[in-house]
Amino acid sequence: MPFSLKINSVSKPIEDWGVSKAKIQRKNCACDTFEATFILPAEIEGIAPGDIIEIFDGESRIFFGSVSKLSVAKNGGSSEMEMLAKNPWSDLEECVYQQKWALRSMENGALVLGNTLRSRVVLGQDNNGNKIDIADQISDILGFAISCGAKFQISQILADGEMLFDEILDLSCAESLLRVLKWIPNTSVYFDYNTPGYPSINVIPRTMLSTVQTDIAAGNVRSFEVSPRPDLKLNGVSIKYESENIVDGVSSLGVSEDNYPSTFNSKSMRGLVMSVELDGLRSTCQSYYAECETINESSVTWWKKHVPELENAEGIVIESASRKGYLSRELVSGSLPLNSSVSTEPDTVSGVISFIDPDENDNSIVIKKFDVKLISTNAATGTYNIWTSSQSPEIAPNGLAKAIYDSSSEMQYEGKISILGADAADFIGKKISIQGDSQALAQMAVPVVSASQDLYSGILDVNFGPPKHLYPDNIAELFRINRNRNFSFSASTRATGKISASTTCSMSGVSAASEVTASRSSKLIIQTTDGGQQIKLNTKDLGNSSGAMFREVAICYNGRGAKARFLMTEPVYDEMQ
């Protein structure tokens, strides 16, 4: 027997291990296994679950896996050890698929967008929230499993086609992969063991599988049976994409169709018709009314409107005026959205103004500096409508109806064949054609589902046809292909970290009355609470003097010379003396 068994680092012919039974089971889209019975348990003493198992046919490796189960069986005075080993598909089954989701947090007063892994996943979407096709989604699932320690490498992923968003929770990588393949059920997933390092996984559709021809007249075929399955053949596929669009609080239904062939009528018999719910548009309108007026800092009317103190004053003269901003109008009342075509900015208008004090009867003139703080803008008076989309519509996949039709329109067959002296590696990941019986079977090319190879008897049992765990068993089940899909409510959240998108616009500050500050006064009145006694300091009383200040004057105080400070103008000589 040319087979050799390698356990961890020890390799020797399989019979030298004391093996009385050895069988390799190869499967499509499922776990390959190796089962063996050891009649010399001492030969595998120290072997434990998790240890690496490899089987070689000459120089070619035909199996790679790890010990899954060891059990001892007593039979009379002898004992046997039963071993079950599983290939790296079991790594996919033991690893929960997770995706990166944006996580919003505050650090030092600033918004920081980080990432976290979540087992809530949206199939058909990448880390940036973009839609991806089936091949990219499969690559991401397999790549995640490898990052977790799965013992395989990725070879060919030829599963072409788009897919829908499908939101799931806490599924293994294997379950996630099979969920994606539901949309292209005639696809083979198998391992190539004869590669350096870990075995390579392949994902190839039926149309691209090579065909192995088996001649039943060659003498090594022990038995075979084939059953045609015309009940699984579709005449056409019609997908009705439905979406609920919410515009300013009003919901409306949108429906579009994808039919293949294009002439297919959804009312036809044996047609697959499915309603697929897509995420719709959600848009809200925010209306803002704003009253705006021109800023005219050289106008007396403008200043009287903004400064209550000037409202009844007379003799107003604008000595000087300036602005910090450059926008021509001010927001008088209402509000304006920041995220629109209009501009706004805080502004300060400053002016030095002289006027006759209306509270005095002596027509005294007051000079003050006023600062008017306001919101300046380039907007005109009117209503501004801002449409905000909190969610963009999900785009329908391109060619999904054709992909399903191509997987289900060919005549399906299922059956099995028993061959002596054949190798499972020659059949797995291929299509089988039966020669030597009829023209119909000779033209048949059906994907191999599984192959069981008995290393001792040399008998290979091959099952072919649609994979039972992927492909529906009857037309009624085929009609239910879409029913288990979960509509995604979180697709828009993954890349942004926002639980729900905001539908409100930021508004600038609104000031019904402008803020006024007075800085320099030419008149000061100090009075008692009842107003009966007053001290008035008026710059008008200075006459031609340049100003008054505290000055030191020599005086006689209690009979002695002293000094005191008086608020006084510069002394002027009396010309009469």
More confident residue, 508 or 323: 323
pLDDT band at 192 (very low <50, low <70, confident <90, very high): very high
The reply to whether 276 and 225 lie within a common domain is: no
DSSP 41: G
Asked if pLDDT for residue 496 goes beyond 90, the answer is: no
Any domain includes 37 = yes
Q: Are 134 and 159 in contact (CB under 8 A)?
A: yes
Return the pLDDT at 11. 93
| Amino acid 49: pLDDT | 93
Q: Domain ends where: 347, 375, 401?
A: 401
Asked, for residue 296, whether it belongs to a domain, the answer is yes
Residues 6+ apart with CB under 8 A from 540: 364, 365, 522, 523
Alpha-carbon distance of 295 to 292, in angstroms, equals 9
In a domain, 574, yes or no: no
Task: Tell me the average pLDDT across 189-207.
Answer: 93
| E runs forming strands in 76-130 | 78-86, 99-107, 110-118, 120-123
The answer to whether 329 and 379 are in contact (CB under 8 A) is yes
250 occurs within a structural domain? yes
Asked whether residue 113 falls in the same domain as residue 69, the answer is no
Residue 200 and residue 153 share a domain = yes
Examine the domain organization and report whether 450 and 529 are in the same domain.
no
Last residue within a domain, chosen from 401, 433, 463: 401
Distances (CA, A) of 351 to 55, 317, 327, 559: 95, 10, 18, 52
Residue 512's pLDDT band (cuts 50, 70, 90): very low
Residue 375 contacts residue 306 (beta carbons within 8 Å): no
Is 123 a domain residue? yes
Q: Structural domain tally of the chain?
A: 6
Task: Tell which of 353, 370, 401 closes a domain.
Answer: 401
SS3 478: helix
Asked if 336 and 379 touch (Cβ cutoff 8 Å), the reply is yes
| Shared domain check, 83 and 96 | no
Query: Is the domain of 149 the same as that of 293?
Result: no
Beta-sheet strands, E only, within 170-296: 187-192, 200-205, 211-215, 221-229, 236-247, 250-260, 271-278, 282-294
Cα(35)–Cα(33) distance, rounded to whole angstroms? Answer: 7
Residues 103 and 191 in one domain: yes
> C-alpha angle 222/225/230, rounded to 5°?
160
Residues 489 and 460 placed together within one structural domain of the fold: no
> Are 299 and 175 in the same domain?
no
Can you give the residue range of the structural domain that contains 248?
236-281+392-401
Span 45-52, average pLDDT: 90
H or E stretch at 433? strand 431-435
Which residues, in sequence order, are CB contacts of 240 under 8 Å at separation 6+?
A: 255, 256, 257, 266, 273, 274, 275, 276
Average pLDDT across the chain, whole number: 81
Residues in contact with 446: Cβ distance below 8 Å, sequence separation at least 6, in sequence order: 412, 413, 414, 415, 431, 432, 433, 464, 465
**Which helix or strand (DSSP H or E) is residue 377 part of?**
strand 365-377
Q: Is 464 in the same domain as 488?
A: no
Q: What is the CATH number of the domain that holds 26?
A: 2.30.300.10
**Residue in 182, 238, 138 with CA at minimum distance from that of residue 486:** 182
Please state the rounded mean pLDDT for residues 520-541: 63
pLDDT, residue 284, reads: 65
Whether the CB-CB separation of 482 and 276 falls below 8 Å is answered with yes
Q: Is the pLDDT of residue 399 over 90?
A: no
SS3 content of the chain, % helix, strand, coil (to 5): 15, 50, 40
pLDDT given for residue 14 in this prediction: 92
Q: What is the reported pLDDT for 3?
A: 93
Is 54 within a domain? yes
Burial class (CB in 10 A: 0-12, 13-18, 19+), 447: buried
Write out pLDDT tens, residues 269-321. Answer: 777 787 777 765 566 677 788 899 999 999 999 999 999 888 888 889 999 99
Whether residues 256 and 191 fall in one domain:
no
Mean pLDDT value of segment 343-350? 91
Residues 137-155 have a mean pLDDT of: 96
**Is 575 part of a structural domain of the chain?**
no
Indicate if 538 and 512 belong to the same structural domain.
no
Sign of the Cα pseudo-torsion (69, 73, 79, 82, in order): negative
What one-character-per-residue DSSP string does 261-286 give?
STT--TTSTTEEEEEEEE---EEEEE
The answer to whether residue 276 is domain-embedded is: yes
Average of per-residue pLDDT across 37-49: 86
